[in-house]
């Protein structure tokens, strides 16, 4: 599962990437600082894992994390290759969710590609490039199959998709092996001034990258207070990660193995045999059964053996659907 950060140049994408991943991607006050995509991992806030570790006393603790991709700024004409646009658009095609960053801060030292701040215009520029890129892909597919009688049903779908893209609408039809950028789920991130100057803003996640950089060492209570004063989301970066998890349908399960206690992010509806494969392919290939324990039962019992003796563990087969908070021990050949 990957989350891509997109938007025009100089809107705060790389700075947001650094905050989420604690990486050190280059940030500068001119467009196209990012040429090749930056990739990092954002730790998922998890209050249950420390409670489990209090029981297991594991010397090694691995928090669940999700991959973040910082994609270079798109400009008008990207779908025709402007500003290395084709390369940047290809990076977007690889993600499951996009954080579309819009600039709501004024800074004379950080130039805007259009010299003025107009977020509606900025949003439409980026979205238009996604639609144009999709339109090009669909039209090339049509040229390839239009003379094949067996592709008549697909041609009907593609014709409808072309009409919808031309109208700036997200296509209702889907062609499985034709991934379209415009259909990738999107969260709008409004990057505001840290002083709350912009009051009239559209729906979206209100965040100030500058404020988040300034309050890194503050307490959570202090951070929340400053965010409220600036008319921002009080949960800051953590709340943004939570929104991403909700949009992607991500849940967390846990493993206790040797000296390590670890959290694993997976999609809702994942079967235990596929979750086993996320841990290691050997577990999936040699899967026999899974011993499943609820996190709350583990904590309440005071230990895995105690929970087992109390009848809290259950044996599940390969078709068991993993639930949020499951502690799983895989038995395999």
Determine what percent of the chain falls in helix, strand and coil, rounding each to the nearest 5: 40, 20, 35
**Domain assignment of residue 315, yes or no:** yes
- Give the mean model confidence (pLDDT) for residues 102-119: 76
Confidence of residue 34 (pLDDT cuts 50, 70, 90): very low
Closest CA to 86 of 96, 75, 97, 95: 75
pLDDT surpassing 90 at residue 19: yes
Residue 38 lies in a domain: no
β-bridge partners, 42: 66
Q: What's the pLDDT at 40?
A: 92
Whole-number pLDDT of residue 194:
80
Find the helix or strand (DSSP H, E) in which 255 lies. Answer: strand 250-257
The answer to whether residue 322 sits within a structural domain is: yes
Q: What pLDDT digit, counting tens, does each position of 84-110 carry? A: 445 667 888 889 999 999 998 877 777
| Mean pLDDT taken over the chain | 88
Return d(Cα 273, Cα 255) in angstroms, integer. Answer: 14
- Section 38-45 average pLDDT: 91
Q: Which of 14-23, 25-34, 194-203, 261-270 has the lowest mean pLDDT?
A: 25-34
Has residue 294 been placed in a domain? yes
263: which strand partners?
254
CATH code of the domain containing 322? 3.10.20.30
Question: Which residues are CB-neighbours of 68 under 8 A, at least 6 positions away?
Answer: 2, 3, 4, 5, 17, 20, 21, 39, 40, 41, 42
pLDDT at residue 226, as a whole number:
93
Q: What are phi and psi of 291, to 5 degrees?
A: -100, 120
Is 287 a member of any domain?
yes
Average of pLDDT values for 299-308?
93
Cβ atoms of 265 and 289 closer than 8 Å: no
Among candidates 239, 241, 266, 240, which has minimal Cα distance to 252?
A: 266
Residue 276 lies in a domain: yes
> Are the CB atoms for 79 and 132 separated by under 8 Å?
yes
- The DSSP letter of residue 3 is E
| 227 DSSP β-pair partners | none
pTM (two decimals): 0.86
CA distance 181 to 92: 7
264 phi and psi angles, rounded to 5 deg: -125, 130
pLDDT over 90 for what percent of the chain? 63
Structure confidence at residue 1 as a pLDDT band (50, 70, 90): confident
| Dihedral over alpha carbons 269, 273, 279, 281 (to 10 degrees) | -130
**Residue 273 placed within a domain:** yes
| From 86-90, 178-182, 183-187, 304-308, the region with the lowest mean pLDDT | 86-90
Q: Is the pLDDT of residue 285 over 70?
A: yes
Distance CA 313, CA 329 (A): 10
Q: How far is the C-alpha of 321 from the C-alpha of 216, rounded, in Å?
A: 38
Q: Cα(189)–Cα(320) distance, rounded to whole angstroms?
A: 36
- Structural domain including 287 reads 269-332
Please tell me the predicted confidence (pLDDT) of residue 47: 93
254 inside domain: no
Inform me whether the pLDDT recorded for 39 exceeds 80: yes
- Lowest mean pLDDT across 114-128, 154-168, 212-226: 114-128
Q: Hey, which of 139-148, 153-162, 232-241 has the most confident mean pLDDT?
A: 232-241
Local confidence band at 111 (pLDDT 50, 70, 90 cut-offs)? low
Q: Give residue 74's pLDDT band: very low, low, confident or very high (50, 70, 90).
A: low
* Total number of domains constituting the chain: 1
The answer, yes or no, to whether residue 277 has pLDDT greater than 90, is: yes
């Amino acid at each position: 599962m990957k989350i891509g950060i997109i938007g025009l140049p100089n809107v705060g994408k790389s700075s947001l990437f650094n905050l989420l991943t604690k990486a050190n991607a280059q940030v500068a006050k001119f467009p196209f600082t990012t040429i090749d995509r930056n990739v990092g991992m954002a730790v998922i806030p998890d209050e249950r894992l420390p409670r489990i570790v209090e029981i297991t006393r594991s010397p090694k603790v691995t928090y669940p994390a999700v991959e973040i991709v910082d994609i270079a700024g798109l400009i008008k004409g990207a779908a025709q290759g402007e500003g290395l646009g084709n390369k940047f658009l290809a990076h977007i095609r690889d993600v499951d969710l996009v954080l579309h960053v819009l600039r709501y801060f004024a800074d004379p030292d950080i130039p805007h590609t259009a010299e003025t701040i107009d977020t509606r215009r900025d949003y439409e520029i980026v979205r238009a490039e996604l639609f144009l890129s999709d339109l090009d892909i669909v039209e090339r597919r049509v040229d390839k199959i239009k003379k094949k009688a067996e592709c008549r049903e697909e041609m009907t779908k593609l014709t409808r998709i072309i009409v919808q893209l031309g109208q700036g609408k997200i296509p209702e039809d889907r062609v499985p092996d034709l991934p379209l950028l415009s259909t990738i789920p999107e969260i709008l991130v409004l990057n505001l001034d840290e002083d709350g100057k912009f009051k009239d803003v559209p729906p979206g996640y209100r965040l100030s990258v500058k404020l988040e950089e300034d309050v890194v060492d503050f307490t959570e209570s202090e951070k929340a207070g400053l965010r409220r004063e600036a008319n921002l989301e009080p949960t800051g970066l953590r709340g943004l990660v939570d929104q991403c998890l909700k949009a992607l349908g991500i849940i967390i399960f846990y493993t206790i193995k040797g000296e390590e206690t670890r959290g694993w992010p997976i999609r809702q509806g994942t079967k235990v045999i596929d979750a086993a494969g996320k841990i290691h392919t050997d577990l999936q290939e040699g899967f026999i059964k899974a011993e499943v324990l609820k996190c709350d039962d583990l904590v309440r019992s005071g230990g895995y053996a105690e929970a087992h003796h109390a009848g809290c563990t259950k044996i599940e087969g390969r078709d068991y659907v993993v639930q949020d908070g499951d502690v799983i021990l895989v038995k395999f050949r």
